[in-house]
Structure 1
């Protein structure tokens, strides 16, 4: 007699069913048994719908040997599946007047489509098929390798874009946050189809995926469409919980006071001056948003008024803040004639010193708050931005902050909070990145 002989019939494991909740008015979320999440926002007044498949994997998740693999995949996933050729993927969406595209960031990758509301079932079927069941044929890998190498070369011909990558590398160094999202010729050229496929199957798992849709739609119908499209694909897997948000308590080593000059025979000098910023979970991010708008966020900002309006030294000048889970950047960009680069840089330094030492005024605080709130609300006027808000809230923050709550958080920012952030971020040594017709000795420390 075995040890289990006195037990009754074996109990079957409980059936795992999707879990659906209402997050806000018109916004619903379903977690499939596989851990894949589906979020929708119903906007009955529109006749369009936007769909996005967001994967919580980006360039910072790559090893040095796979540098650029996430971006490589972005290209390859539209090249053909077991059900469709590359032509069929694009033709089926374009035949109904829709559009598809994708982009890769350092922390996530997004594949999206925008169609008429009646064509959302088609968009779900095509996009899920492409992301979940791509073949990654060797011939397509070679074709896209050439395309990506051309894209990298083209990027080097855009110094206004390149300078931001140079600046990020100056701050983050060898950390993955400091690397180019696209990879480099040295990493892309030897990368094999098997390496990319292993990365694809290992990292593109159901718990890492968020599917978001916004427009004239019904949540339950979208869930049914997604489940049907997933059936039999590698993302149709067993029970699992959704992946946790990326940890924010890690410490990323950053540099201050570093200077990087990239010589290019350009007609303009491209300059970024700044340093480490705040992570996206930092409660001070609302104060930083206000500060950024006061400093260089619009035509009424200090930098624009001083450098362009009063002196006419640059056509483009602005400040910006980029945020990751555990780190961030703050910088000021200016594009100007090479002969004026020194003067422009001196003015930027003076303005950063002034805001760090003296802070901002109550009038500037009010204007900065208005700019933050207005840009946020006006940015939610189309289905694509609504879809992105759903996915980013879930994937990057793990919750859905309502519009009213966000506006209240901005309203609560004080002059003292902004000034404290300004003193912390803009005091001390700053890093400088320059792309233009210069040598190392043209910009003394």
Structure 2
């Protein structure tokens, strides 16, 4: 299987893929249209204010827009080492266009990337159900639609952040390794290199998932010197080199400029600057749990935020069904950590989803491919729920793990006899329709209002 031929859309995939493409285009258009005149201003500078004051969707970042607009880096390149490399050529093109046309195309450039990523995430997820789990065409379509009906799988398909790009790369990895596991073939060292380089390059935490995928696909052969050197060590060394180059050539000079701007603002109105900082720090302290310790890593870990409430309201709650109150608000600005649903129905739906997921695990746990996904899921549970990384807005990480839910349902459906199959299929059809109407309706209302 060529890593490049897999981007060819097959005939049976086209109806689903292009219908979803239309959906993604519409939602991305709504995001841009919501503040069209502001987003496309060709101002030389001031992009941070332009975008951060007008874009706010559940804590997703608009740093890519700012980077493409004015090459200001606000994301941590250590955690996203390839993202800046990815955005820099777009900045150069956009900078030329701003100078010659007076129009900022950043939102359009990112929309193309997001739509492309969402489109192929659909294609790869469909293939996982169809070719790896071997479900029917109709069932594969249903499960793919179910995944994208989840609130925080749908939202990343329209926001200028990296999560849907990660989903595309993770789903591609699942598809490639799933087929290899099924056919008892090996993941080559160079295939591992490409998957690790791009997937970990988009988010370093994904690197662990690629290593796990290699272990489940190759078994003991993973530890061969060639595979370890080319497939594991080399991509991480390259990513480190790229990140460090970016840091010294772009980030360090920028830090000096930003520091000078901050000093000028302080001299101009020190009282206003200090008061804003005091209020901002107070808000963040009240919406962030207690850190594990004062070390660099310890400050990222939350030891006090309620895990039980997180599971109910955020991890299996907001991730799948958006809350009616504080709809798509940002916990860093204007949303409490925990929000209750207005309707008991939401909790009933959540209970059904989780119960079916647990049953699906029972049906699928003996499959090697599903064991790999359980190991991935364990990484997410450990990182976010046990260690508490980003636990106060854990739902924005949904695209990195939620695919295990419909995959578990797929194994359950395949393992049932005919009559229970029909009942489950009908239940999932109703559930999918409800989630699409509920989540897409809320998102559209938010963007249009």
Q: Please say whether Structure 1 and Structure 2 have the same fold, judged by a TM-score greater than 0.5.
A: no
Structure with higher helix content: 2
What range is the shorter-chain TM-score in? under 0.3
Larger radius of gyration: 1
